[in-house]
Amino acid sequence: MKQPSRPPQIIGLCDQLIELPRLIDEVPIGILVVDPAHRVILMNRSLEVLTGMSHGSVQGTPCYYVLRSNLCMAGCPVRELHKNSGPVSAEADIINRGRQKIPVRFTAAPLIGKNGKLVGYVKSVEDMRFFKKPEDQAAAGVFGKLIGNSPEMQRVFRVLPTIAQTDSSVLITGQTGTGKDYVAEAIHYASRRAKGPFIKVNCGALPEGLLESELFGHQKGAFTGAVENKPGRFRLAHNGTLYLTEIGDLPLHLQVKLLSFLDDKVVYPLGSSKGIHVDVRVIAATHRNLEEMVRQGQFRADLLFRLNVLRLHLPSLSERGDDIRMLTSHFLRTFNSRFSKKISKFNETAEKLIMNHHFPGNVRELRNMVEYAVNLCDGDRILPEHLPDYLTAPRSARNKAPEPEPEARLQFELQSREIGENVGWAETERRMILEAMIKAKGNRSKAAKYLGLGRSTLWRKMKQYQILS
């Protein structure tokens, strides 16, 4: 990728700081170096992970494009340096590329050249999420992004702090939509690695040909199109956690490389015979029966043993009793805020329909269901007609999930277009995806078939429209 042109002042400062890029990449917290006009000169690997932006794409731009903080317009720590003789610190929130709000602590200090003149500023950006006390959260029915007061979830909450304090591999199992991603995040942010990066790789979302390079990196010229060195996700996760979701979809030849890494903590980029040692904890998750896959020769038994050091199984939503009501209220508040609505509650009939549903798609299905209802409701209460049609269908029809034929997909698309007749295409497409997820009960593969999309394409569009799953 072509690098953006740099102003002469930045080129001059980079000459003075020639050793700095190598040094700051070793620092486990985010580091940003800006020139006197607050334009980005350098950012380290930790800040790339935290913000989701690459150094090359932001070099020479104002620093507020990178940090997107509530302090950027007022109270910027760098600007406060004009009033103070020493470094200054402040706590704030930043918005990363995935539109996630992250609490951080900024510390800013001036950079003085050999001639005694100001040549720029350096900012450290420390992720503050790990300062939360997990025990206090669990007592309130919350652990990270997990919510629940049922005995099943309280058992999970009790063991999470213990699992977090070890450095062993973890295998998280459970049905689709039970919250495995949130558990992995909670383990990371309650661990000693919380200051390090949390890197997620969906082993089922990337083509097999790209997955090896994505995980282990490659050297320039290793294959056609490899025009520069790429570190890979293992190296990006150095001093932190690598979360491998859908581990059952990992191809057999990459299972061998993963096993080798778990044994010696060394990665070998494509095109290189030189190994690189990285300090990474691996957490894996799956909804598949890995023991059965081992018997069928689809998963290596030795890799299962290495991943299965600590195992945590998440209960299905139908096993969690009153957690359904608790989660429904939480999602209602979330989507009221997002869509600027003032819906007070579900009426009694609508609430009964939800409480009596089996939820094969688990928490993800419930979240999608509430988002759908909030979108359709124009009053102050959600009624049965605002809920997906399958909730009011006979139970036998509800439990059936036939594969959609092309004609069904076409009919579905036409119906969805009618919903968005008076809105723009982006909103129409968003509602189409939401409707498909509802019809598929949270199953992304089936939703993709309804829409006539590839699974990875659907995943990208869900990220684009902030339809979390």
Mind listing the pLDDT tens digit for each residue in 24-70? Answer: 776 778 888 888 888 898 888 778 878 888 777 888 888 888 888 87
Query: What is the C-alpha separation between 320 and 157, in angstroms, rounded?
Result: 14
pLDDT at residue 85 tops 90: no
Q: Which of 236, 274, 228, 280 is nearest to 258 (CA)?
A: 280
How many whole angstroms separate alpha carbon 292 and alpha carbon 296? 6
d(CA 277, CA 265): 6
**What pLDDT score does 80 carry?**
65
In 3-state terms, what secondary structure has residue 399?
A: coil
Tens-place pLDDT, residues 9-27: 444 454 555 566 667 776 7
Mean pLDDT score across all residues of the chain: 81
- pLDDT (tens digit, 9 = 90+) per residue, 224-235? 777 788 888 999
Identify the top-confidence range among 11-25, 71-85, 341-355.
Answer: 341-355
3-state helix, strand, coil in the chain (%, to 5): 45, 20, 40
Task: Determine the pLDDT at residue 456.
Answer: 72
pLDDT in tens, 366-424: 999 999 999 999 999 999 999 988 887 655 554 554 444 444 444 444 444 444 444 45
pLDDT of residue 11: 42
- The CA-atom distances, in angstroms, between 446 and each of 120, 303, 361, 428 are 53, 29, 12, 19
With pLDDT > 70 as the criterion, what percentage of the chain qualifies? 81
Total-model pTM = 0.63
Q: What is the DSSP letter of 420?
A: T
> What average pLDDT does this structure show over 346-351?
93
452 or 154: which leads in pLDDT: 154
The burial class, CB within 10 Å (0-12 / 13-18 / 19+), for 308 is middle
pLDDT higher at 98 or 197: 197
pLDDT of residue 369: 93
